[in-house]
Amino acid sequence: MQSATITRWLPAAMLSLALGGCASAGYNFASDDYKIETVKSENASERVRFLVMHFTAIDFATSLKVLTQTSSAPVSAHYLVPESNDPSYPHPDLRVYQLVDENRRAWHAGPGMWEDRTQVNDQSIGIEIVNQSHCFAAPEKAAGKEMAGAEKTDESTGEEHCVFPDFDPAQIDLLIALSKDILRRYPDIGPTHVVGHGDVLPQYKIDPGPRFPWQQLAEAGIGAWYDDDAVQRNLEYLHGNSVSDRDSVRRRFAQWLADYGYGIDPDSADDGEITLYTRAFQYHFRPWQVDGEVDAQTRAILLALLEKYFPQKLSAYPEVQTGLLAQQQP
């Protein structure tokens, strides 16, 4: 059980200095029991490789309790970021709450998969963001318990209607400051290693949801986003080269998802799994239309991302104009 919760108010200018004490321990230590000589190896990397974003789905006070106290299903995160106008939040200013030291493993991402890593939880820093998004199951709909402002989602997920409130702008500013500080200290967290809970564990999670401002974060240097001109160019090409059958298109898209980082096995994935991972991708990169369909726009967006972050992988796709794409590289 976490015995204490560290709270602090951190203006953006002070954030890096204040959080710097969480960095990994160095080489310098001594023992009276033995002598040690240190020769630093170049064959190593940071333990922390990913930054995972979550929404809490509950208010601040409940989030803090759930994330810090023992229970039958204990969860935690390294940081908790509150939102403005939450009656359960006790301060007039927004503060970053650190719940777990970065050197320790927080229980936030389960057996999530990304790239070649099968335990993202063990190699990541998790940030919980207070946002009361939630979904209603089909029986509630039938009982007439739908809520105003609910958004329709695909029935195959069991989530008939979901409510996704906007994220608080002041909260996002604080999240950006915190995230930029984390990235400064962990250079192995590249743009494609900043992910959502739903990206690494789409079988169970959809957070941080379609209202999370991924593009705003990318523009601040946090995470990945595509270039609009690349999407348009790929979209025009795909519209002029649509000769493959539906199954072949979806199977190839699953390969592209795996090449980008998603934990899907394109060789064994069935149609339902491809839909599931496509929805996870759309929650992140095409949040205005999340339907699990491998349409031309979704394919063009993923190709634009591969072109930007993994151009060396495009040669594996003979039907894509790799020569044209390579010319676009700086």
Active site residues: 128
What tokens does 278 get? 């496509």
Distance CA 319, CA 251 (A): 14
Name every residue whose Cβ is closer than 8 Å to that of residue 168 and which is 6 or more positions away in sequence: 83, 84, 85
CA distance 302 to 299: 5
Per DSSP, the three-state class of 267 is: coil
Instruction: State both tokens at 312.
Output: 């060396």
Residue 72, Cβ density class (10 Å: 0-12 exposed, 13-18 middle, ≥19 buried): exposed
- What is the chain's percent helix, strand, coil content, to nearest 5? 40, 10, 50
Among candidate residues 283, 279, 252, the one with its CA nearest the CA of residue 266: 252
Q: At what angle do helices 246-260 and 296-309 cross, to 10 degrees?
A: 30
Cα gap 184→193, rounded to integer Å: 14
**Cα distance between residue 308 and residue 228, in whole Å:** 11
Helices (H), the chain: 12-19, 60-68, 138-142, 169-185, 197-200, 214-219, 228-239, 246-260, 271-285, 296-309, 322-327
Which tokens sit at 54? 């979550």
Residue for token pair 């079988």: 203
User: 102 near 49, Cβ under 8 Å?
Assistant: no
Burial 112-136 (b: 16+ CB within 10 A, else e): bbbbebeebbbbbbbbbbbbbbbbb
